[in-house]
Amino acid sequence: MPDYWFTPRTRPNFGWMPSCWQGIFLYILLFLIIFYLGWYFNLLDASPNQGFAFILTLILSLLSFAYIADKKTKEPVIFRRSSYCFKL
């Protein structure tokens, strides 16, 4: 099993390119979750509460995808593994 599932995109783009089947699977899973959320919350006839719940769950799923993808990248894009980042 490969250690890294993604490679970082080159500039000026931001994101991750899958480098093995696990990365492709994670992208497919993300798209399926987004389509399911749109179907589940019925966005065409949604109330404001349903729209807010959709936006909240969409943000949470995108953040979890970004966290997993960044941890499985050799040179992280968001969470750098150096000593000077995120010091309190």
Q: H/E/C letters for each residue in 30-84? A: HHHHHHHHHHHCCHHHCCHHHHHHHHHHHHHHHHHHHHHHHHCECCCCCCCCCCC
Inside any domain, residue 66 = yes
Q: How confident is the model at residue 13 (pLDDT cuts 50, 70, 90)?
A: low
Domain with 39, as residue range(s), is: 1-8+31-72
Half-sphere exposure of 68 (CA within 13 A, CB side): 16
Model confidence over 27-69: pLDDT tens digits? 999 999 999 988 888 878 878 888 899 999 999 999 999 888 8
Inside any domain, residue 17 = no
Share of the chain above pLDDT 90, in %: 28
How many domains is the chain built from? Answer: 1
The pLDDT of residue 60 is: 95
Q: How confident is the model at residue 70 (pLDDT cuts 50, 70, 90)?
A: confident
pTM for the model: 0.77
Inside any domain, residue 22 = no
CA proximity to 27, closest of 54, 75, 61: 61
